[in-house]
């Protein structure tokens, strides 16, 4: 059996989550999110976002959250801007287009967008009405390359979006990891301030399943529940999601788990640096993209599972290593030892 560094959803959930589910298991609750755990969890999240007027909704997964937010926000002739590395552009089987909306992709930098990237897209769509109207910008934090947005970067994007009648939407599948990165200067409250809508990923940070969509722009709040139901995203037993987010946010658990995952990644990173390794992307979160020789990769593959990410040249490739709240010290040490050998 290989030890897996393939992703941050290889295990179930943090034990406290299972305990919480057990605790509430036989207490009768109303369905479809009208249970008391969901209510409490929503309150807590709004509090931590310092956004009393926000709306919070729990759904099962990331693709679902993305397609829901985008389809609910756009009229038929409106499109969303993303980097070419954006999850919605590359890894969601056309989920966004299936709701009728084109993604205008632009090559970003380090998996991130800046105002000039967005301006470039807008400039290419001047031949109205033969082109779509851009209405939303999609970003992820941390990105699909493991990088993070700084406060000034996010602020600049938001200001630009506001000036250009664009909604700013952040995919937070790995938001915990971004916020706990050593060089991060953003808070949940900053994100609530400088986006129109974002989501806080639970699946990749300790939950069995679940993402929390936080809508701060009141225009986008209107009628959102209808869309959840229409896209098949409203669980009958909404308490399954509410209970988990309540557990994650009732103290610091959500952040502690992300910190832990980051620390494990950084331990591996230090080891790699120690061996002179260079990286395809410079990351401080729970994703690493070391460039190794094909031979080294082959040797590591005998004991560890990970994704081959990008061919660099004939003899080298970048691999992707991901740690999580469940990555034990033992596994990290195993890997570091194996590195030493190769």
Of residues 138-197, those binding a second copy (CB under 8 A): none
Candidate residues 42, 45, 60, 297; the one interacting with a second copy per rule CB under 8 A: 60
Candidate residues 41, 49, 95, 332; the one interacting with a second copy per rule CB under 8 A: 95
Residue 305, CB-side half-sphere exposure with 13 Å CA sphere: 8
Q: Which stretch binds a second copy (CB under 8 A): 235-243, 252-260, 264-272, 296-304?
A: 235-243
| Binding letters toward a second copy, positions 321-340, x by CB under 8 A | -----x--------------
**Cβ count within 10 A of residue 242:** 27
Q: How far is the CB of 224 from a second copy (least distance, A)?
A: 9
C-alpha triplet 76, 80, 85: angle, nearest 5°: 145
Q: What does the DSSP assignment read for 98-109?
A: HTT--EEEE--B
Structure tokens at 22: 């057990």
First to last CA, the chain: 20
93 binding a second copy? (CB under 8 A):
yes
Q: Which stretch binds a second copy (CB under 8 A): 44-52, 138-146, 158-166, 224-232?
A: 224-232
Question: 2 to 21, contacts with a second copy by CB under 8 A?
Answer: 3-4, 6-7, 9-13, 15, 18, 21
107 binding a second copy? (CB under 8 A):
no
Q: Are 268 and 335 in contact (CB under 8 A)?
A: yes
Candidate residues 101, 117, 174, 269; the one interacting with a second copy per rule CB under 8 A: 101
Question: 61 to 90, contacts with a second copy by CB under 8 A?
Answer: 61-68, 71-72, 75-77, 79, 90
In 3D, which of 253, 250, 221, 252 has the Cα closest to residue 44?
250
130 binding a second copy? (CB under 8 A):
yes
When the beta carbons of 72 and 200 are compared against a second copy, the nearer one is 72
Q: Are 342 and 334 in contact (CB under 8 A)?
A: no
Question: 19 to 48, contacts with a second copy by CB under 8 A?
Answer: 21-22, 24-32
Q: What is the dihedral sign for C-alpha 174, 179, 181, 185?
A: positive
b/e code 101-117 from CB counts within 10 Å (16+ = b) = bebbbbebeebbbebeb
| Binding letters toward a second copy, positions 281-310, x by CB under 8 A | ------------------------------
Over its C-alpha atoms, the chain yields an Rg (Å, rounded) of 20
Q: Helix count (H) and strand count (E) of the chain?
A: 15, 14
Question: 194 to 213, contacts with a second copy by CB under 8 A?
Answer: 203-204, 208-209
When the beta carbons of 239 and 291 are compared against a second copy, the nearer one is 239
């Amino acid at each position: 059996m290989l030890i897996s560094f393939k992703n941050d959803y290889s295990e179930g959930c943090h034990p406290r989550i299972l305990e919480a589910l057990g605790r509430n298991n036989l207490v009768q609750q109303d369905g479809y999110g009208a249970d008391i755990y969901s209510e409490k969890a929503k309150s807590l999240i709004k509090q931590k976002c310092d956004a009393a007027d926000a709306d919070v909704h729990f759904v099962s997964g990331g693709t679902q959250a993305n397609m829901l937010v985008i389809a609910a926000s756009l009229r038929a002739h409106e499109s969303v801007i993303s980097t070419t590395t954006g999850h919605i552009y590359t890894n969601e089987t056309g989920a966004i287009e299936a709701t009728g909306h084109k993604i205008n992709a632009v090559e970003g930098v380090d998996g991130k967008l800046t105002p000039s990237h967005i301006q470039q897209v807008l400039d290419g769509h001047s031949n109205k009405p033969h082109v779509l109207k851009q209405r939303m910008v999609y970003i992820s934090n941390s990105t699909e390359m493991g990088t993070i947005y700084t406060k000034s970067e996010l602020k600049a994007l938001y200001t630009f979006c506001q000036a250009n009648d664009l909604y700013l939407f952040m995919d937070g599948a790995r938001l915990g990891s971004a916020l706990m990165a050593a060089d991060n200067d953003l808070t949940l409250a900053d994100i609530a301030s400088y986006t129109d809508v974002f989501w806080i990923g639970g699946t990749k940070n300790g939950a069995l399943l679940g993402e929390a969509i936080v809508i701060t722009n009141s225009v986008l709040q209107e009628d959102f529940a209808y869309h959840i139901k229409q896209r098949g995203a409203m669980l009958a037993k909404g308490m399954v999601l509410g209970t988990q987010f309540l557990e994650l946010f009732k103290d610091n658990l959500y952040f502690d788990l992300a910190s832990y995952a980051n620390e494990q990644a950084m331990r591996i990173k230090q080891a790699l640096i120690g061996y002179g390794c260079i990286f395809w992307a410079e990351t401080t979160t729970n994703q690493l993209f070391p460039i190794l020789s094909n031979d080294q990769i082959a040797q590591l593959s005998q004991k560890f599972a990970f994704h081959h990410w990008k061919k660099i040249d004939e003899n080298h490739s970048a691999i992707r290593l991901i740690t999580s709240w469940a990555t034990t010290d033992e596994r990290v040490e195993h890997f570091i030892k194996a590195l030493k050998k190769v």
